Amino acid sequence: METTTLSPVTFTESATSELRRLMAEPGFDSSKPLRIGVKGGGCSGLSYVLEFDDRKDNDASYEVGGIPFIMDRSHELYLFGVEVHWENGLNNRGFIFRNPNASNTCGCGSSFAV
């Protein structure tokens, strides 16, 4: 698997810690790499994807903070400069995508437009 040196995405320390915790869970399928991407949908047009998935032909490989991940090369345009953060508060819990390219985002932050 070839790794690209310049990652379009970064992780905060809290996101890195949570991803490491998830990958250390009993029964974790290490054959499926972390995928970061986008898909059509959501109230703003595009939704973020963060899941463990099978590798596909058009995927590029990256590693940030010791966390390897894959991304469809066509998604780099939408995600370049994105910071993935893990929020673990009483009112908000989950991964948050801070996207400097988004021209519009929905109230919950799970979809965006460019």
Residue 46, pLDDT score: 80
Which CATH superfamily is 9-103 part of? HesB-like domain (2.60.300.12)
Q: How far is CA 32 from the centre of its chain?
A: 14
pLDDT of residue 40: 77
3-class DSSP state for residue 53?
A: coil
Question: What would the pLDDT profile of 39-86 be if each residue is shown by its tens digit?
Answer: 876 555 788 899 999 999 999 999 998 899 999 999 998 899 999 999
Classified as helix, coil or strand, 43 is coil
User: Residue 54 is encoded by which pair of tokens?
Assistant: 């099978």
φ and ψ of 14, to 5 deg: -65, -35
Q: Number of H helices and number of E strands within the chain?
A: 2, 9
- Domain locations along the chain: 9-103
For the whole model, what pTM was predicted?
A: 0.81
Look at residue 96 and tell me whether its pLDDT is greater than 60: yes
3-state SS assignment for residue 18: helix
